[in-house]
A and B are shown apart, each in its own frame.
Chain A
């Protein structure tokens, strides 16, 4: 399959632990986004990558959140010292960029994070 994949699909962790969430975008997509969605809520933008650089980090909720992308492909979202309010579904999306505009974003199935 050539879609966006994310791992793990589910993650249960204890408060205070660090977690890493992984996203494999569609091959050739230079733009990559991370969002989170709490139960019954809309999508909250976290961070955007164009290639390996992140021109827009404005959505990261605190300094406990960080993300990187290597080789213009795989991205990792890391949450340090997790808190219960971090519990949500974390969605990754990738997109082509044409004429400096975003086209359709293709989403992965998400990682459901539960912090106990």
Chain B
């Protein structure tokens, strides 16, 4: 079993839709949590950090449930420009593990 698991998708949604991505991690000692975005043939870039209290950045909301070892990302009012691969990232100490990513296609 992988330490960080994501639904690979792809998710195909129309513009304006709300889409949710889920991620689970297996090591309860994990300390820090992130969502990264990777466009086709580009390097990953930080989308947002994830906190237990939940956090929101515009149309994006991230949630962390430590008890269930579960992380989510919600995208509201999807835009064409949101089409990308979304990577769930977990770290503990100096070790960082990237999930394989969930692909999102937003269509007009």
* Stretch of A17-25, A41-49, A64-72, A76-84 lying at the B interface: A41-49
Q: Known interface pairs A102-B32, A105-B46, A108-B43. Does A42 touch B87 (Cβ–Cβ under 8 Å)?
A: yes
Q: Known interface pairs A42-B87, A42-B101, A102-B32. Does A97 touch B94 (Cβ–Cβ under 8 Å)?
A: yes
Residues 29-69 of B contacting A (Cβ, < 8 Å): 31-32, 34, 42-46, 49
The answer to whether B101 touches A102, judged by C-beta atoms less than 8 angstroms apart, is no
Rounded to whole Å, the gap between the CB of A35 and the closest CB of chain B is: 8
With a cutoff of 8 Å between Cβ atoms, the chain B residues found around residue A97 in the complex are: 94
Residue of B34, B45, B95 with most partner-chain A CB within 10 A: B95
Rounded to whole Å, the gap between the CB of A110 and the closest CB of chain B is: 6
Residue of A43, A48, A55, A109 with most partner-chain B CB within 10 A: A43
Rounded to whole Å, the gap between the CB of B66 and the closest CB of chain A is: 15
Residue of A31, A42, A45 with most partner-chain B CB within 10 A: A42
Q: Does B91 contact A (CB under 8 A)?
A: yes
Q: Known interface pairs A41-B100, A42-B87, A42-B100. Does A102 touch B44 (Cβ–Cβ under 8 Å)?
A: no
CA gap between A101 and B42 in the complex, in Å: 26
Q: Contact partner of B49 among A42, A45, A56, A104, CB < 8 A? A: A104
The answer to whether A104 touches B34, judged by C-beta atoms less than 8 angstroms apart, is yes
The answer to whether B44 touches A43, judged by C-beta atoms less than 8 angstroms apart, is yes
Q: Contact partner of B46 among A31, A43, A104, A108, CB < 8 A? A: A104
Q: Does B97 contact A (CB under 8 A)?
A: yes
Rounded to whole Å, the gap between the CB of A102 and the closest CB of chain B is: 5
Q: Does A26 contact B (CB under 8 A)?
A: no
A-B contact pairs, 13 of them (CB 8 A): A33-B96, A42-B87, A45-B95, A45-B97, A45-B98, A50-B94, A91-B43, A100-B93, A101-B32, A102-B32, A107-B44, A107-B45, A109-B42
Give the 10 A-B CB pairs with smallest separation, nearest first: A42-B100, A107-B43, A43-B98, A104-B46, A102-B91, A107-B44, A42-B101, A101-B32, A109-B43, A102-B96
Task: Name A residues whose Cβ lies closer than 8 Å to a Cβ of B.
Answer: 31, 33, 35, 41-43, 45, 48, 50, 55-56, 91, 97, 100-105, 107-110
